[in-house]
Every structure is written in structure tokens, then in C-alpha cells.
Amino acid sequence: MGQAAYERLHEAIEVGTLKPGDRISVNGLAETLQISRTPVREAISWLETDGLIVHEAYRGRVVAELDRQMVTELYAIRLVLETTAASLAAQNASESEIEVLKEMLALEKSLLDDPLKRERQNRRFHEAIYRSAHNRYVLTTLKALQSPMILLGPATASDPTRVQSAYAEHVLLVDSIARHDAEGASQAMRQHLAGGQRTRINYMASRDQA
């Protein structure tokens, strides 16, 4: 029951049903999930370990929230790691892994009008590139960033133009990997992350002004 509660709460944070800054109530969540409080407490404890829930003075437990400085720091480390992963993928990806990336692109194209499914597909696409790098240390380090990346949420949903440009950047990235162009793949990933960061910061600024 604890695992099931964890998965449901994790998904609620992922899709934005539970938003950054929302207070976490054991009783309220137990009632919503229609389960007892014990598995909810277990799930909350695991989510705290993941960094998705934090304890704040005077407020209690809340869904973790990234401020602009944290987003900037996150993208800085992503830039280092993901450009490296893209370069290594261009050098090391097998033909079957390249075919998988192309198939994932085709699926992504069909999901451009569905923000949630597209965001999940986006994460799977990036994870496939990490694995194609064939470097266990890059993969392990990037996996450690999964929780804060979930907290970023699908900001591109508020910018249809960014959805299209992000897809075009993915196409360029896969093309570079397929041609085993390590420098091209690195530059394509750099461009992609820069576009994502701009959209994220603009989204946060507009939200703060609302």
C-alpha cells in the first residue's frame, strides 16, 4: 500500500495536481486516495528522501519548489552532463539504439498537442540518450537529477512555439547522433537546453507577476 501511495503521489506531483508549494496533509491525502494514513506517511517519507517534499517552518510539509537561482543552477549542471551524454551517444550508440531514438521522435510528434504525455515522452527521450552514451557515471549522475527535473514541470505547455522548436531541436539532435557527429550532437543539446531554460525563466517571471 505504501508503494502504491508513493506512485500515486509521485504522479500527482509530476502532472501538477500537487503543485510546488502545496501543503501536504496526511489526513487529506488519505481521504483523497481512500486508504489509511500509515501508507500515506510511508509514501511522504519516501518522497522527502527523493527531495520532492520538504519540511518548512510554520508550514509543515510542502511540495518542493525551485526558485530562479535553483533553476539556473540545475540547467548549468544539465548543460555539462547532457552535452557530454549527447557527444558520447554520437560516438557509442548502436544502430538499434538510434532506431529507438527515431521511433521516439515519431511518437513525440504525435503528442505535441498533449502537454502531459509529451512531457513524459520528453523525459523518456532524454533518458534514452543518456543510456546510449554508454557511460555508467554520466547515467548515474543524471539519474540523480530526475527529482528536480520533475519539479520543473511542463513549462513548454504555456508556449506552443517552444513545443515546436523543442521538437525541431530533438530532430537535429537525433540526426547528429545518427551521423555519429559528436560535436554536432553536443551543440544540438546545448541549443536545446538554452531554449528550455529561456522558456522556463520566462514562465516563472510571468507566473510571479500574475
pLDDT at 34: 86
Asked if 114 and 91 sit in the same domain, the reply is yes
Q: Using the 8-state DSSP alphabet, how is residue 20 labeled? A: T
23 forms beta bridges with 62
Residue with cell 511522504: 44
Asked if 86 and 13 sit in the same domain, the reply is no
Asked if 11 and 55 sit in the same domain, the reply is yes
**Nine-digit cell at 64?**
518542493
Asked if 105 and 177 sit in the same domain, the reply is yes
Check whether 209 has a pLDDT greater than 80. Answer: no
Q: Which sign, positive or negative, has the C-alpha torsion 97, 156, 79, 181?
A: positive
The model's pLDDT over 89-123, given as tens digits with 9 standing for 90+, comes to 999 999 999 999 999 999 999 998 887 788 889 88
Question: pLDDT category, 3, cuts 50, 70, 90?
Answer: confident
Question: pLDDT category, 68, cuts 50, 70, 90?
Answer: confident
Asked if 74 and 52 sit in the same domain, the reply is no
Asked if 119 and 162 sit in the same domain, the reply is yes
Mean pLDDT, the chain, integer = 89
The model's pLDDT over 173-208, given as tens digits with 9 standing for 90+, comes to 999 999 999 999 999 999 999 998 988 888 777 766
Domain carrying residue 166: 68-209
* Among 48, 63, 78, residue at a domain's last position: 63
Largest CA distance in the chain: 55
Q: What is the mean pLDDT of residues 22-31?
A: 89
Q: What is the number of domains present in the chain?
A: 2
**Nine-digit cell at 87?**
557527444
